[in-house]
Amino acid sequence: MRRLVLTCTIAALGVALSPVVPTASGVTAAPRDTFPARVELPDGFQPEGIALGPGPTAWFGSRADGDIYEVSLRTGDGSVISQGPGTPSVGMKSDRQGRLYVAGGTSGTARIIDTETGVVLDDRTLTTGPSFVNDVVLTRTAAWFTDSSQAQLYRVDRGAGGGPGTATTTLPLTGEWEQGTGFGVNGISTTPTGRALLVVNSTTGLLYRVAPATGEATEVDLGGASLTMGDGMLRHGRTLYVVRNRINEVAVLRLSRTALTGRLVRTITADDLPASTSFDVPTTVARFGSHLYLPNARFTTPPTPTTDYWVTKVRAKAGD
């Protein structure tokens, strides 16, 4: 009888208590289904880039004026934490010390922002020529920025504690790189070993492995898969997510350890989503737990002060 009472008591507690889910960053999150499937952004915001974490906090940059908007993925509540300079904020990445690295689009600059205060810690000129500084990836020693108008990358050194150093270097792309017309380099990531960079050419649809010391680019053999309209990228282990913006899909690739080869294993499309949370030209991607988050830039919709914008949440893996 005592065992029966104890069993019933434990069962009752299991019903009464809400479960918690530990995340990779050590933050305890609420159950997955309490996070909204669609996160609203301010009307007229014109988002492009996303940075996320540690924890369920995301930041978005405005193409209209460069404002930085912070939002809780748990509740959907948000606010502008840093006023923009009047030029675009596009690709972004955050580090564990609360710094946000922001690509400046047509301004040819990179900004580093303190996410606690919104203060601009550094406003770095990367180039004075025609440019579109589009995306960024962080390594232990550097922040690497792409330029979609020129066949080159920019390296901003990261000093002690990961903060911005004083040196900025331009790295021309050589080897097998083909610039083509229109947007060239767009999204950027690292290889599974962390020893090289991966960049996608939006116009040609080719993916390249780039040696960070020399700029030599080698085409990644994707078995015939095309990544035209390739935009933001996210690598998780040997899985690479590539957002194909105007096609409204995400290509999911499985890379070899060296990232010299890869294969398309899945495609996430609007057909996988409810109409209320569907894609409308997603541009970049970040991951929290078992889900991906993608801001919709709505490039095909004329922007007005009342145009609505949102972030779509999708499962990172089929069956999650």
pTM (predicted TM-score): 0.87
Domain boundaries, the chain: 38-315
pLDDT of the chain, 320 residues: tens digit per residue: 344 333 333 333 333 333 334 433 344 444 445 899 999 999 999 999 999 988 999 999 999 999 999 999 999 999 999 999 999 999 999 999 999 999 999 999 999 999 999 999 999 999 999 999 999 999 999 999 999 999 999 999 998 777 787 889 999 999 999 998 889 999 999 999 999 999 999 999 999 999 999 999 999 999 999 999 999 999 999 999 999 999 999 999 999 999 999 999 999 998 888 888 899 999 999 999 999 999 999 999 999 999 999 999 999 987 54
pLDDT of the residue at 264:
98
Return the pLDDT at 163: 76
Peptide bond into 282 cis (omega under 30): no
Q: Looking at the domain 38-315, which fold is it? A: Neuraminidase (2.120.10)
- Cα separation, 92 vs 51, whole angstroms: 5
Rounded Cα gap, residues 255 and 160, in angstroms: 32
Question: What pLDDT, on a 0 to 100 scale, did the predictor assign at position 4?
Answer: 37
CA-to-CA separations, 223 to 54, 109, 188, 207, 242, in angstroms, rounded? 35, 36, 20, 12, 16
Phi-psi region of 215 (alpha: psi -120 to 50; beta: other; left: phi over 0): left
Q: What is the pLDDT of residue 54?
A: 85
- Return the pLDDT at 52: 95
Phi, psi angles (nearest 5°) of residue 267: -130, 125
Taking the alpha carbons at both ends of the chain, their separation in whole angstroms is 40
Residue 83 confidence (pLDDT) = 97
The pLDDT value given to residue 33: 54
Q: What confidence score (pLDDT) does residue 27 get? A: 42
